[in-house]
Structure 1
Amino acid sequence: MTAPLTPHDHSPHLPPYPGAETGPGTGEDRRKAVLTEVARGALVALLVAVCGVALGLLWLWLSPRVPLVSDGKAVYLKDTEGEEAIGGDGTFVLIAAGLGLLTGAAVFLRYRRGGIGPVLGLALGGVAASVIGWRVGVWLGPDTNIVAHATRVGPKVVFDAPLELRAKSALVAWPAAAMILHLILTSAFIPKDPAPPKQELPLPPPTPPDQQ
């Protein structure tokens, strides 16, 4: 008679593959790590988006005004050769890029260990801040109804045109500047993880002379 095989008898003795983790709590730890990254990303996105109000106020303050004048029948540019119309877009880009550099540096200093959550929050928050700044500047700026404004001030009276962002691509200036600076700081100041040592397979035992 032969003894029945036990699980130990027919299970090969294979070492666990590298990186394999067992034991209770592993899945819970991973879930907590994911939730932490999501919370950090949401917080960064919210704080960066709120900074869009500063963008709108600075754009309203620094953007060159476009003078208009009415003859009682139509509205015209007072200076047909002026560059104030395109200067508004350039001012918006410069302010947004500057604020993007500030927020990118702030996020890096706060989360020096990196992480996908703060990076995504920085990108999404930068887009939201640009949109908020654009709308705040237009809302607080001169009246967007040019005809009504001209009628109110009367003919031959110069008044300012409403703020306008002609190139909507300017909305990516903030997130682009923030992400570029964050990437540079991360590459320069965060040490890379050392490469794992190579695992060498053991050599087979030598063959006995009587079996050669």
Structure 2
Amino acid sequence: MTAPLTPPDNQPPDEPRHPAAAPAADHGGPVGPELARELREGALIALVVAVSGVLLGVLWNWLAPHTPLIADTRNVYLKNTEGEEAIGADGTFVLLSLAFGALTAAAVFLFRRRGGIPLVVALVVGGLLGAVLGWVTGMWLGPTPDVAAHAKQVGPGVTFNGPLRLQAKGALLAWPIAGMLTQLALTGLFGPRDPEPDAPHWPGDEHLPQPPEAH
């Protein structure tokens, strides 16, 4: 004999079906590509800013006062013992560096129209490299650092210019500091503004008396 079939009303409950696991949410989204793009732009900006240091060196060699020297048959002397050419060379480098920092930051802001940490870092790194490159370029374009050979070449009693030197190495920070401050100031004044948050809604606000409408 065959066993009686279980009536439909007494059927065992169906096994619960487990829904297919939903795919994990991609928390990265466009953040990864956006960050990579900002890093590439930052590297390019730092490179362009650093290369512009060559122009800083040319202007520094052209505008900075040079130290006049004079030699006899054995020694080399300062022609003006109270001269301030060394201080003037440092001051000229600082002023030019401040101008380069402000101009490069303004040009980058006009190109990007926004700020960001990678952009500020690019301006600081590029400005420091540009200042070092300008310092080296200015000294290379100036008179030879071999004072003894130069004095021997021109002869005794003839005035010649000494090498262009940067006495205060802290002047190399003028460019990156000026670039960073200019970028932050322009972003704060003209950068995009965040949208204003909506006013919080508290339960029961709809029951509060409303101000009468002006007729």
Normalising by the smaller structure, the TM-score range is: 0.7 to 0.9
For 1:56 and 1:188, the matched residues in 2 are separated by 32
CA contact (8 A) 2:115 2:184 kept: no
Q: Mind listing any 5+ residue stretches in structure 1 that lack a counterpart?
A: 9-21, 204-212
Aligned equivalent of 1:131:
132
For 1:166 and 1:176, the matched residues in 2 are separated by 19
Map 1:1-212; keep pairs closer than 5 Å. 23-24=25-26, 26-27=27-28, 29-194=30-195, 196-197=197-198
After TM superposition, give the deviation of residue 29 of structure 1 in Å: 2.2
Q: Residues 141-161 of structure 1: CA distance to partner in whole angstroms, max 9, x if unpaired? A: 101011111111111111100
Give the aligned residue type for 2:55.
A
For 1:40 and 1:201, the matched residues in 2 are separated by 45
> Which secondary structure state, in structure 2, belongs to the residue aligned with residue 54 of structure 1?
helix
Give the aligned residue type for 1:111.
R
After TM superposition, give the deviation of residue 179 of structure 1 in Å: 1.1
TM-score, normalising length from structure 2? Answer: 0.80
For 1:6 and 1:198, the matched residues in 2 are separated by 44
For 1:75 and 1:2, the matched residues in 2 are separated by 108
Larger Rg: 2
Identity %, equivalent residues: 50
For 2:33 and 2:74, the matched residues in 1 are separated by 66
CA contact (8 A) 2:113 2:191 kept: yes
After TM superposition, give the deviation of residue 124 of structure 1 in Å: 0.5
After TM superposition, give the deviation of residue 37 of structure 1 in Å: 1.0
After TM superposition, give the deviation of residue 116 of structure 1 in Å: 2.2
Aligned residues: 189
Aligned equivalent of 1:208:
none
For 1:103 and 1:113, the matched residues in 2 are separated by 14
> Which secondary structure state, in structure 1, belongs to the residue aligned with residue 151 of structure 2?
helix
Q: Mind listing any 5+ residue stretches in structure 2 that lack a counterpart?
A: 1-11, 205-215
For 2:192 and 2:49, the matched residues in 1 are separated by 26
CA contact (8 A) 1:111 1:118 kept: no
After TM superposition, give the deviation of residue 27 of structure 1 in Å: 2.5
